[in-house]
Amino acid sequence: MPGTELFGAEERKEVNDVLETGILFRYGHDAQRNGHWKAREFEEEVKKITGAKYAHAMSSGSTAVATALAAAGIGTGDEVIVPPFTFIATIEAVLFVGALPVFAEVDETLCLSAEGIKKAITPKTKGVCLVHMCGGMAEMDSIMQVVKEHNLILVEDAGQAFASSYKGVSTGLFGKAGSYSFDFFKIATAGEGGVLVTNDEETYNKADYYSDHGHSHIGAKRGMEQHPILGFNYRIGELNAAVGLAQTRRVPHIREVNRKYKKMLTELLSQTPGIGFATIADPDGDSATFLNILMETPEAAQRTVDEMNNAGVAGFDYWYKNMYHFINQWDHIKEMRTASKLAVEVLGTPQDYANLQLPVTQNVIGRLISFGIRCTWTEEQVRDLAAKISDCVKKALATAHA
């Protein structure tokens, strides 16, 4: 799955461009940088992949989604519907802009469902922070119908779904703003980095200001720039942007190979009774970074995981017990353990986070086993992995029926 599989001469060339000038800062120093603007070039490559009108690179996917929320107008006291299955940064971003998370059900797309969103709406709901999980995408037609019907602000966290799309529209471009992660484990990496995308000029301008202490970035002298709004330091540096630039150029190739190997795995594993797959809302738009298996029951999934661990099968996640990606392990949120007081602690939580009832989500994530797809596999390795998975599933189901 990660772009680092192909890390090499192209990345080193882009980094060396920066090192040779010594200009590590993304703004200014025009005369010294010898024409190298890696953050700008990185943003242009993201726009080519996604079709976004505007893209703004930042220090991480986490800061990108936080900026997306702020630039979209989400702030203190606003209720925001969020999924209980996501990397924890999504929830942190909502909390740290002062908003109040409201957890809703996901479905077999592994993303928030239209029905889940609808049931979570209250008179205080301001927006939805939709997360496109595991390389796929949410079922956007029905979700957009709910968003428009209730006049909600939609922000998309597509941290795991760069290069995926739904009916020709890239994830991240359905709402007011979207974000991608380019951390070490994504389809393309900057080491650490993120990119905000939007088709709305006002939202882009706010994001541009907000992510750099409110600087307008107009004029030749940084110290004399205007500050249209308050902001903070979420800037990306030129070294990280240089890596992200080279990596993003690789994405079309990585996606093509991923799709080939995911198709092979799916066809081979479909022959094994008991193995199902997560729903892909638009198969033609899948970035194919994950193969998401859905077992028939959570118990069958746990037994399969046990068999795979015993057999030394690697490269999978059982998210149901993952400390960072599923609500069952988020005790620090349930107990609101914070370094300093947040708005939610003053205003009150809109739900009892410690006693949420999300039966659909618990069932889906309990049944889910995800394998990262690697573009450097050989076909022989793909067949070998499929055989190992199939064998473990057969043993797990045989144990259940014994």
H and E: helices and strands count for the chain: 13, 13
From CA 9, how far away is CA 17, in angstroms rounded?
12
CB contact set of 35 (below 8 Å; sequence gap of 6+): none
Query: Rounded CA gap, 36 and 137, in Å?
Result: 35
CB 109 within 8 A of CB 278: yes
Instruction: Establish whether 388 is a catalytic residue.
Output: no
The span from the CA of 360 to the CA of 364, in Å, is 6
Nearest one of 5, 8, 12, 10 to 249, comparing CA atoms: 10
Alpha carbon distance 23, 30 (integer Å) = 9
Using alpha carbons, select from 168, 194, 200, 212 the residue that is nearest to residue 87: 194
Q: What is the DSSP letter of 285?
A: G
Q: What is the 3-state secondary structure (H, E, C) of 108-152?
A: CCCCECHHHHHHHCCCCEEEEEEECCCCCCCCHHHHHHHHHHCCC
Could you say which of 38, 126, 176, 186 is catalytic? 186
User: Which residues are designated catalytic?
Assistant: 186
